[in-house]
């Protein structure tokens, strides 16, 4: 382990089939007005909405409805939610859904009492909140982003043509999260496996960085092996509770800041994926899947030692009689085989990327000076062409 770091995560987690029973008591810690934020209404069909509203009523709360949070939430929706929160002087934002809904709620929490345009202040200039922050709680219904236990908020601006992520401070992390694995059973197969790859991508983004022998990498390898094992089960039997519970728990630990301790990070796959999502409005996890293999094959030689370690420690590749390059490539082939078996998108053309719109995707890709290599725009175009 090298460097210095601080680890602090204030989220209180309630995990398991009885997790929802704690919501009413947790709500008593907040004021009388709660903004209930959720997406397109699926929670009304599967009974989760009724259970949440019952808990809100049991806690004596006044509920402000905030529905219609879309995948890839927009800054326009954030501004709308911020106005609603401010006008009703809400004491808590309760996000019920997946990562998009929770990311949105965090965006609203820092924007409700902000005197400036939140997009410019937070996602462009990356400034810290200087205003009152509305607390956020969550009831998780789809796993993947880990947003229930981190301070990240990815927001899209259609008018400027950018999709940007912002990691705020610990005061923006949800105060509590309800994690009942059975709530994820209602997610369609396509969205489910997209979430699976999102988890894997979070693990790999933090793994493929640094050169030191780092305890954090050993933790990461264990999480990756657990994820691979459980996703192969869940892809065939989505109602296998143990597999879905393991995946939910892995997703939370994949991006709750633990794995960045003593590490750097890459996150360029996410930048390309965000740009694809901006141009095509494709599902986030699938955008990551479509470009990961071309990207990692492109940068493999710059971090060859870690790709060899990945092959041996995650996939069990035997190195005898092979060069480091052969071992690393075999590890990526194992990753590819797993991706195909769980059923993720393997080519960006399946998401709407074409030769014609590749320049637009490249223009929208933020190039980060981290990881093993800083890409150029031409390299992004090359990777996107390979992903087709």
- Using alpha carbons only, what angle is made at residue 103 by residues 94 and 97, rounded to the nearest 5 degrees? 50
Q: Are strands 152-157 and 162-167 parallel, antiparallel or unpaired?
A: antiparallel
d(CA 233, CA 213): 32
Name which of 58, 47, 46, 50 is nearest 22 in CA terms: 58
Name which of 57, 149, 132, 59 is nearest 95 in CA terms: 149
How is residue 74 annotated by DSSP? B
Phi, psi of 99 (to 5 degrees): -60, -35
- Confidence (pTM): 0.95
**Residues 6 or more apart in contact with residue 1 via CB below 8 angstroms:** 212, 214, 215, 216, 262
DSSP per-residue codes, 207-247: HSS--S--HHHHHHHHHHHHHHHHHHHHHH-TT-HHHHHHH
pLDDT of residue 45: 87
* Residue 327, both tokens: 């071992």
d(CA 20, CA 346): 36
Name which of 334, 332, 339 is nearest 286 in CA terms: 339
d(CA 53, CA 72): 25
Split the chain (388 residues) into runs of 10 and give each run's mean pLDDT: 84 97 96 96 90 96 97 95 98 97 98 97 96 98 95 93 91 97 94 97 96 93 98 98 98 95 92 96 96 98 97 98 98 98 98 97 94 95 98
For residue 188, what are the CA distances in angstroms to 84, 124, 277, 338, 343?
31, 34, 19, 20, 13
Give long-range contacts, CB 8 A cutoff, 24+ apart: 375-381.
375/268, 379/298, 380/272
**Residues 6 or more apart in contact with residue 333 via CB below 8 angstroms:** none
d(CA 93, CA 137): 6
d(CA 109, CA 297): 39
204 contacts 291 by C-beta, under 8 angstroms: no
For residue 166, what are the CA distances in angstroms to 128, 138, 261, 362?
10, 19, 18, 20
pLDDT of residue 108: 98
pLDDT of residue 66: 97
Other C-beta atoms closer than 10 Å to the C-beta of 19 total 19
35 contacts 244 by C-beta, under 8 angstroms: no
Name which of 137, 133, 153 is nearest 10 in CA terms: 137
């Amino acid at each position: 382990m090298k460097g210095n770091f601080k680890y602090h995560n204030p989220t209180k987690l309630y995990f398991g089939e009885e997790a929802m029973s704690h919501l009413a008591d947790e709500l008593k810690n907040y004021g009388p007005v709660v903004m209930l934020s959720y997406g397109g209404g699926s929670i009304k069909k599967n009974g989760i909405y009724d259970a949440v509203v019952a808990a809100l009523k049991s806690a004596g709360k006044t509920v402000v409805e905030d529905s219609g949070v879309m995948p890839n939430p927009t800054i326009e929706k954030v501004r709308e939610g911020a106005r609603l929160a401010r006008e009703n002087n809400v004491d808590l934002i309760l996000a019920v859904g997946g990562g998009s809904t929770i990311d949105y709620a965090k965006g609203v929490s820092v924007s409700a009492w902000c005197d400036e345009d939140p997009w410019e202040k937070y996602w462009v200039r990356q400034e810290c909140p200087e205003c009152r922050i509305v607390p956020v709680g969550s009831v998780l219904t789809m796993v993947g982003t880990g947003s229930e236990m981190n301070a990240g908020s990815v927001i899209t601006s259609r008018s400027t043509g950018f999709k940007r992520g912002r990691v705020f401070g610990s005061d923006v992390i949800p105060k509590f999260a309800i994690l009942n694995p059975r709530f994820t059973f209602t997610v369609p197969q396509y969205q489910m496996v997209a979430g699976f790859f999102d988890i894997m991508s979070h693990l790999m983004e933090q793994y493929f960085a640094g050169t030191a022998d780092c305890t954090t990498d050993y933790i990461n390898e264990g999480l990756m092996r657990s994820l691979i094992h459980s996703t192969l089960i869940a892809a065939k039997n989505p109602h296998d509770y143990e597999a879905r519970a393991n995946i939910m728990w892995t997703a939370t630990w994949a991006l709750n800041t633990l794995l960045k301790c003593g590490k750097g990070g890459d996150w360029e796959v996410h930048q390309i994926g965000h740009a694809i999502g901006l141009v095509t409005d494709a599902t986030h996890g699938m955008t990551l899947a479509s470009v990961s293999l071309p990207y990692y094959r492109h940068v493999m030689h710059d971090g060859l030692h870690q790709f060899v370690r990945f092959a041996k420690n995650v996939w069990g590749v035997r190195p005898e009689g092979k060069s480091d390059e052969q071992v690393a490539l075999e590890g990526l082939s194992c990753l590819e085989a797993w991706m195909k078996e769980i059923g993720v998108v393997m080519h960006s053309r399946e998401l709407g990327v074409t030769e014609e719109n590749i320049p637009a995707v490249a223009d929208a890709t933020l190039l980060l000076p981290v990881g093993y290599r800083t890409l150029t725009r031409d390299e992004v175009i090359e990777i996107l062409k390979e992903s087709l």
